[in-house]
Amino acid sequence: MSIYRHILVAVDLTDDAAQVVARAQKFQGEGVRFSLVHALEPLGFAYGGDIPMDLTSIQDQLTAHARAKLAELAPLLQVPTERQYVFTGMPDAEIHRLADQEGVDLIIIGSHGRHGLALLLGSTSTGVLHGAHCDVLAVRVGLKTA
């Protein structure tokens, strides 16, 4: 029996998401429920707000794509639609907010294990780890296996 009752699985929707979900599946058991989340950074952040056009329709398309990808992953963890979340905002802040709001006791997230400059600039998994009010499992992803 797992000590965790509500597990939030945060995925980036790359091929690495499968590794994160596979690790989460190891926690499946009686009384354990899962939620899935993907947080999109606003397009204005990515381009510094310097694009003189309305990005709303593109952001809506990205959100729809993210919802479809979560719906593909959800059956693996038996996550109902009402616990599949897509947010637009800073990923670590949105994951913290959702975890606190839903009473999550474990967050599972992928980590690329960046070093050097990439580590100094930060990553979502590092931000989640340092601001979470619950346990965090960072799953090493993107490793090539022989």
pLDDT digits (tens, 9 = 90+) for 39-55: 988 876 555 555 566 67
Residue 120 confidence class, pLDDT cut points 50, 70, 90: very low
Residue 53 has a pLDDT of 65
Q: For all residues of the chain together, what is the average pLDDT?
A: 86
Q: Please check whether residue 117 lies inside any domain of the structure.
A: yes
pLDDT of residue 126: 85
Number of domains composing the chain: 1
How much is the pLDDT for 88? 92
Q: How far apart are CA 126 and CA 109, in angstroms?
A: 10
Contact 24, 109 (CB under 8 A): no
Average the pLDDT over 130-138 and give the result: 93
Which pLDDT does position 125 carry in this prediction?
85
Q: How far apart are the first and last CA of the chain?
A: 33
Q: How many Cβ atoms are within 10 Å of 142's Cβ, its own excluded?
A: 13
Cβ neighbors of 88 (< 8 A, separation 6 or more) are 39, 40, 41, 42, 59, 63
81 within a domain of the structure (yes/no): yes
Two tokens, residue 139: 């799953």
Q: Which of 82, 108, 135, 129 is nearest to 27 (CA)?
A: 108
How far is Cα 17 from Cα 9, in angstroms, rounded to an integer? 9
Whole-number pLDDT of residue 119: 45
**Residue 145 belongs to some domain of the structure:** no
pLDDT of residue 65: 95
The band of 121, judged by pLDDT with boundaries at 50, 70 and 90, is very low
Q: Is residue 146 part of a domain?
A: no
- Please tell me the predicted confidence (pLDDT) of residue 114: 55
Query: What span, in angstroms and rounded, lies between the C-alpha atoms of 5 and 105?
Result: 7
Number of Cβ within a 10 Å radius of residue 110:
25
CATH of the domain at 24: 3.40.50.620
What was the pLDDT predicted at 41?
Answer: 83
Q: Are 88 and 42 in contact (CB under 8 A)?
A: yes
Q: Which domain range does residue 75 map to?
A: 6-140
What's the mean pLDDT in 123-137? 90
Does residue 1 fall inside a structural domain?
A: no
